[in-house]
Amino acid sequence: MEKSDFKVTKWEEKAIENETDLFPVHTVEVEYKISGILEGIAYLQYLLYYLEEDVDGQQAEARVSGFFHFKRIYKNREGIFTACENGTFEEGRLNINAQIVNATEQLKGLDGTYKYDFQGKSSELLLDFKLSDQD
């Protein structure tokens, strides 16, 4: 399993409805700066469904569904890939299943999954990727 570090550089969240007790869904725009075997920027769009009435940022629990759109370099190959993420957000941590759904340019043929790992102040992506040389 390969690893890359990431840092959250943007997190913009807003409720879809003013009546969050009746419809506790928020949209979130996120941006990560990634370094390591993956080098670049990821843009994410999430829907969060809060499982608690009191939404309190990092301590809230929510169901998460969204897309991860990465631009730049993996293993010295330049390109773009998109992955689908589904899971939960609990105590400031993402527990998700993520699967690559499309890749382009020199990353065409990239397939695999990843998950998040949070140890103290570090944030990592744990990658289980395969890159075929097929066009």
- Look up the CATH number of the domain holding residue 123: 2.40.350.10
- Phi and psi at 51, nearest 5°, equal -90, -5
Condensed to tens digits (0 to 9), the pLDDT of residues 111-131 reads: 999 999 987 667 999 999 999
**Domain housing 79:** 2-131
pTM attached to this predicted model: 0.86
DSSP letter at 22 equals T
The tally of domains found in the chain comes to: 1
| Local confidence band at 135 (pLDDT 50, 70, 90 cut-offs) | very low
Spatial separation of the C-alpha atoms in residues 53 and 108, rounded to whole Å: 43
Spatial separation of the C-alpha atoms in residues 8 and 53, rounded to whole Å: 26
Q: Report angle CA 51, 57, 60 to the nearest 5 degrees.
A: 25
